[in-house]
Amino acid sequence: MKKIFALETSCDDTAAAIVDQSGRVLGEASFSKLEEYNIFGGVVPEIGSRAHIEHILPVTKEVFRMASLTPGDIDAIAATFAPGLVGPLLVGAQFAKGMAQALNIPLVAIHHIEGHILAGHQDENFPQAPFLALIVSGGHTALYGCDENYLITTMGETLDDAAGEAFDKIGRALSLGYPAGPIIDALAKTGNKEKYSLPIAMRKEEHFNFSFSGLKTKALEIIKKHAPFNEHDRADFCASTQEAIALALCEKSIKAAVEKKYQALVIGGGVAANSRLRELLTIACQNAGIHLYLPKKQYCTDNAVMIAKAAHLRFAEHPNSNHLFADVLATLPIEGIEEYRRSAGSLFIDLFGGDAERI
Ligand code: KG4
Ligand code: ZN
């Protein structure tokens, strides 16, 4: 596929991009509902769905304008079909289906996590598979193995809160606004990370799972006890919290890479933009002789470039893909994506007939 137009609408952002087969970004644009969410302190699915409907067309037009292309110049469409909030997902998937049908070009359904893992694919520094991937966001915190055929399996995941969720909930208790991760990151810069002691769960355990609820509960207790913080103490508290979360993520990733003999680590998801996590991983990977790929910060948080990049790779593997009959799913383990794509729309084909070859 020469040029892919992609949409990402699984959560906060209405994002669109056009990427060519060499990985060059020809156009990208996104609209974020974060200001609207700020009033409520978090994601509100109904507001999200309505805002996606309002913004999907302007964002699409902007991307074509930036790329100096028309829809007729596009060779395929891609969209996030799972996992995520069903309303927002539906807006992107239905828009993509309409475009694909109107233009008579194929559509590929992408899993949000494969997008995050492949956000840097074809960048100079992006490793050849196999590699280990740490994906950390507001909804996910997990380690994935990506094999030489780019098949992805979960190696460990959070048993309770995601790391981004912990940042956001702690930030909310400090009245920092949403999302709190980047604000805590900024405040931590002048703080003393040793001032408050926060627990890191399951440090010595064999498995590669994470847990952040104990850390979050302890942090909320400290806030209750000391509130209101003066500016100095707040910076120390942010630095201490960030240090504990970043250390938990870094230690498990290095342990998994060493034990499973991965020579490269890729990170992604909003929390991968965290400056202390990037610093700790850079040092630890250098010491362990592991190649580390740090995506640009703009491609850590949700974006459509990552969906286009994943789609290029999937089209290269299955050139006849077309998932026009796929349904969006709120949950879908990454291991299920190949089967999901294979069987997408079988009910529709049974009912109405169809060109099974193209599905
Ligand atoms: O990947 P993403 O944009 O959306 C999800 O799929 O969840 O990640 C958003 C999450 C939020 O929890 C936000 O607080 C966190 O990423 N985040 C950060 C930073 N930038 C975004 N957390 C810590 N430090 C940052 N610099
Ligand atoms: Zn995400």
Q: Which ligand is nearest to the CA of 136?
A: 1
Distance of CA 251 to the CA centre of its chain: 21
Q: What share of the chain is helix, strand, coil (3-state, %, to 5)?
A: 50, 15, 35
Strand partners, 156: 143
**Residues paired with 79 in a beta bridge:** 7, 109
Residue with tokens 């993520």, as numbered in its chain: 249
300 CA from centroid of ligand 1 (Å): 8
Closest atom of ligand 1 relative to the 242 alpha carbon = 23
Task: Check residue 143 and give its pLDDT.
Answer: 98
Strand-pairing partners, residue 293, are 266
Integer Cα distance of 134 and 269 in angstroms: 8
- Does residue 145 contact residue 155 with C-beta atoms inside 8 Å? yes
Residues in the chain: 359
* Side-chain-facing half-sphere of 16: CA atoms under 13 Å: 25
Peptide bond into 179 cis (omega under 30): yes
Of 309, 321, 318, 316, nearest in space to 115 by CA: 309
Please give the pLDDT value at position 265: 98
Q: What HEC string does 174-218 produce?
A: CCCCCCCHHHHHHHHCCCCCCCCCCCCCCCCCCCCCECCHHHHHH
Per-residue pLDDT of 309-319, as tens digits, reads 999 999 999 98
Whether 90 contacts 327, CB under 8 Å: no
Owner of token pair 């089967």: 339
pLDDT at 12: 83
Structural tokens at position 290: 């592991």
356, pLDDT greater than 70: no
**Strand-pair category, 13-20 with 25-32:** antiparallel
Please tell me the residue having the least CA distance from ligand 1 atom 22: 181
Q: Is 102 exposed, middle or buried (0-12, 13-18, 19+ CB in 10 A)?
A: exposed
Question: Between these two residues, 238 and 42, which has the higher pLDDT value?
Answer: 238
Which uninterrupted H or E stretch holds 59? Answer: helix 45-67
84 lines ligand 1 (CB under 6 A): no
Residue to mutate, 137, 183, 276, 305, ligand 1, most ligand atoms under 8 Å from C-beta: 137
Angle, CA 41 vertex, CA 113 and CA 294 arms, to 5°: 35
pLDDT at position 44, please? 73
Q: How far apart are CA 204 and CA 202, in angstroms?
A: 6
- pLDDT, tens digit (0-9, with 9 covering 90-100), for 182-236: 999 999 999 999 999 999 999 889 999 999 999 999 999 999 998 889 999 999 9
Confirm if 170 and 180 have CB atoms less than 8 A apart. Answer: yes
Give the whole-number percent of the chain exceeding pLDDT 70: 93
The residue ranking higher by pLDDT, 238 or 324, is 238
**pLDDT, position 178:** 87
Confidence of residue 32 (pLDDT cuts 50, 70, 90): confident
Q: What pLDDT was estimated at residue 20?
A: 98
Pocket test residue of 10, 111, 116, 167 for ligand 1, highest count of atoms within 8 A of CB: 167
Is 171 near ligand 1, meaning CB less than 6 Å away?
no
Ligand 2 ion: Cβ-proximal residues, 5 Å cutoff:
137, 302
* Residue-wise pLDDT tens digits, 242-256: 999 999 999 999 999
In the structure, what pLDDT confidence band is assigned to residue 343 with cuts at 50, 70 and 90? confident
Residue with the two structure tokens 């100096």: 68
Which neighbouring-strand residues pair with 29? 16
Report yes or no: 248 and 141 within 8 Å, Cβ to Cβ.
no
Mean pLDDT, residues 303-313: 98
Q: Taking the model in full, what pTM does it have?
A: 0.93
Q: Is the CB of 295 under 6 A from ligand 1?
A: no
Q: Which of 44-48, 140-144, 266-270 has the lowest mean pLDDT?
A: 44-48
In which order are the strands placed within the sheet that holds 107-111? 25-32, 13-20, 3-8, 76-82, 107-111
Mean pLDDT of 237-243: 98
**What is the 194 CA–ligand 2 centroid distance (Å)?**
30
How many Cα atoms within 13 Å fall on the side-chain side of residue 111?
21
Shortest-distance Cα residue to atom 14 of ligand 1: 181
Cα(218)–Cα(196) distance, rounded to whole angstroms? 10
Atom of ligand 1 nearest to the CA of 165: 12
Q: How much is the pLDDT for 357?
A: 46
Residue 55 scores a pLDDT above 70: yes
Mean pLDDT, rounded, of the chain: 93
Nearest atom within ligand 1 for CA of residue 301:
3
Q: What is the mean pLDDT of residues 42-59?
A: 85
Residue 18 pLDDT > 50: yes
**Contact (CB, 8 A) for 244 and 202:** no
Percent over 90 (pLDDT), the chain: 84
Probe target for ligand 1 pocket from 32, 243, 301, 305, with the most ligand atoms within 8 Å of CB: 301
Judged against a pLDDT cut of 90, whether residue 39 lies above it is answered with no
17, 86, 92 from 44: Cα distances, Å: 25, 12, 17
pLDDT of residue 350: 65
- Ligand 1 midpoint to CA 277 (Å): 12
> Where does residue 68 fall: left (phi above 0), alpha (psi -120 to 50 degrees), or beta otherwise?
left
Report the pLDDT value the prediction gives residue 344, as an integer from 0 to 100: 79
